[in-house]
Amino acid sequence: MRVVVAGAAGFLGSHLCDRLIARGDEVVGIDNLLTGRMENVAHLFGHERFSFQRHNVSTYVHVPGAVDAVLHFASPASPADFERMPIQILKVGSLGTLHLLGLAKEKGARFFLASTSEVYGDPEVHPQPETYWGNVNPVGPRGVYDEAKRFAEAMTMAYNRFHGVDVRIVRIFNTFGPRMRPDDGRAVSNFLVQALSGKPITVYGDGSQTRSFCYVDDEVRGFLALLDSSYVGPVNIGNPVEYTIRQLAEMAIEVTGSTSEIITQPLPVDDPARRRPDISLAGTLFEWEPEVDLRTGLSRTAAYFREALEGGG
């Protein structure tokens, strides 16, 4: 297959490129490097089946030649980004999705949307199945991401129904692993970087809020299984084992052997109280389930950050 990956230099996009290249596909990577980083794809430069365009998909998208699949992984996605770049997030979720759907339509290609558990907002149904419509505050600080992705899902299904474009939608739950930005602002990256540098671990609120963390290799394996399936409609891909944020902080200290203390800071506005995917649909459709537990994944990610911190000073 010849596959276009928007957001190719990002955390998830770059792991996806690796898997596609490894299985023999040709990859056209696109990224404007707003939050993506060249170092994530540097090892792919020079590969005969990889090419790269530095480009913002919110403007327009042109890819010469035949294309079999268009994968939309372009967007800042950390809650810390929601305040720093709200308009870019709204644009890449709306205009970026429109342009990439247009590309898929023109090429007769399959379209794959990276959506999010944020479409469920602060969920009143727990765990969250795909049939739950969510509880999102459209005008709060998280609304820029949540509503952009909800719009992107609506647009994707409209292109399927109205134009007959073959589409897949993955709802991604908290994912972590090597190539996260050390200053990403998420809990896993903050806690590991703080623990490794002996700084206080910043738990927001009382730390009783929950998340369910999926290791990146499991997550990307789920993406490809969904891409190759014939299912049209949203599918949750995430690890259903749920932890409190305080438990995560304690585990970050443990796997790094750190002496950091845990301190508390104010809880961000509209921070979801709990989150856990119902992954029975992915299991039924393509027998997907995660294999890497949190402790193992955190150890691998800590090794990555240790090297990044030593290398980068």
By the rule CB under 6 A, 178 interacts with ligand UDP = no
Nearer to ligand UDP (CB atom), residue 244 or residue 299: 244
Q: Are 28 and 93 in contact (CB under 8 A)?
A: no
Residue partners of 153: CB distance under 8 A and separation at least 6: 113, 115, 119, 169, 234
Phi and psi at residue 193, in whole multiples of 5°?
-65, -40
Q: Specify the residue, 146 or 217, whose C-beta has the smaller distance to ligand UDP.
A: 146
Q: Which amino acid, one-letter code, is at 266?
A: P
35 belongs to the binding site for ligand UDP (CB under 6 A)? no
Residue 243 β-bridge partners: 211
| Torsions phi, psi for 163 (to 5 deg) | -110, -5
Kindly determine how many residues on this chain lie close enough to bind ligand UDP according to the rule CB under 6 A.
15
d(CA 170, CA 243): 22
With CB under 6 A as the contact rule, the residue among 174, 175, 236, 301 that binds ligand UDP is: 174
Identified binder of ligand UDP from the candidate list 35, 128, 156, 209, rule CB under 6 A? 209
Of these, 150, 186, 221, 276, which contacts ligand UDP (CB under 6 A)?
A: 186
Shortest Å, Cβ 176 to ligand UDP: 8
Q: Alpha-carbon dihedral of residues 163, 17, 85, 92, nearest 10 degrees? A: -10
3-state helix, strand, coil in the chain (%, to 5): 40, 20, 40
Residue 108's closest CA among 30, 166, 170, 28?
166
Residue 179 in contact with ligand UDP, rule: CB under 6 A? no
Q: Is 51 in the site for ligand UDP (CB under 6 A)?
A: no
- Among positions 92, 100, 152, 187, the unique one binding ligand UDP when judged by CB under 6 A: 187
Residue 204 sits in the site that holds ligand UDP (CB under 6 A): yes
Stretch that binds ligand UDP, among 153-161, 163-171, 186-194, 287-295 (CB under 6 A): 186-194
The residue (of 44 and 195) whose beta carbon lies closer to ligand UDP is: 195
Q: What are phi and psi of 114, to 5 degrees?
A: -80, 100
User: Among residues 99 and 246, whose Cβ is nearest to ligand UDP?
Assistant: 246
Residue 211 within binding range of ligand UDP, rule CB under 6 A? yes
Both structure tokens of 278: 């119902």
DSSP 170-183: EEE--EE-TT--TT
- Does position 177 interact with ligand UDP (CB under 6 A)? The reply is no
Active site residues: 145
- 271 near ligand UDP (CB under 6 A): yes
Contacts to ligand UDP by CB under 6 A: 78-79, 174, 186-187, 190, 202-204, 209, 211, 245, 267-268, 271
